[in-house]
Each structure stands twice: as C-alpha cells, then as structure tokens.
Amino acid sequence: MKRILDVVRFTFVSPEFAWILGLIALLYVYPYPLIVVGEKIGANDEVWKWLPTLPLLFSGITFRLSSKVRAPFDKGNKQLYEWLDFYRITDRLYTAYILAAISSISIISIWIFPDTFSLAIIGLVFFAAVGVSGFVALQVFLAAQKIREIIEQYGDQF
C-alpha cells in the first residue's frame, strides 16, 4: 500500500502533471496558440515530418539512460541494490517508461490520423507529448548523475 501511495504521489506532484494541467487550462481558456501550432504543423510538410519525432527521441533517451540509473557503474552496484528504498528508483523508472510510451503513442496517433483531431487538439497533444517526454528524459538524466555522484561520494558509508 505504501508503494502505491508513493507512486500516486510522485505521479500527481510532478512537472509532467503540472504541464498537462496547464495545457488543458490553456485549451479551455485561450486555445488560439494551440490552434496556431496545429495549423503550422499540418501546413508545413517538413515541420510535420520531423517535429513529432521529438517525443520519440526523448523516449529513446529515457530508455537508454535508465540503465545508468539502475546500474551507475559497470561493476560494483551492490550498495545501490542493497539500499532499502531501491524500489523507489525502480518504481520511478517504470513510471518514466509508461509516460514515455504514452507520449510516443499519442504523437504517433496524431501523426497517423491528423484529420481525426481538431487543430487545437493536435497542438495540445504535440505540446503535451514533447513536454512530458522532455521532462521525463531530463529527470532520468539528472537521476543518473545524482545516483552516481552519491555512490561515489558516500559509497563507503553504506
């Protein structure tokens, strides 16, 4: 139960969730910027071809860097694995995988079915997918650096 509450807490108290709430508020209060982005993406073939790949790129970075979070060193990760709260790292990584996958699936869905969605929704999904996958990739990158730093600095004290 404690793990479930922890997952719920770090899911709803996160920059990704705040980003999505902000975009939804923008959609209802002032959708014009989202409509403009939807029009720009749909009107320019080169932009439409390459910009939606950003969430896929960020998702790839997330999956690549996650191994550095779980095993920061080539050898000698025993101290990290024996840490009592190691499950928190794995739970956060699984959540990062899910968010990266949802971002990739959502951007692919508007890429495949652009006529199905309104311009505001295309802009919203684009910003949400890029923002969420970017935040996730940045957080996994920072976590990999911080975990390695902590183990190098305090590893002999564990």
Alpha-carbon distances of 32 from 14, 38, 47, 106, 121, rounded to whole Å: 26, 10, 19, 21, 11
pLDDT beneath 50: ranges in the chain: none
Distance in angstroms (rounded) separating the CA atoms of residues 152 and 5: 31
Distance in angstroms (rounded) separating the CA atoms of residues 132 and 135: 5
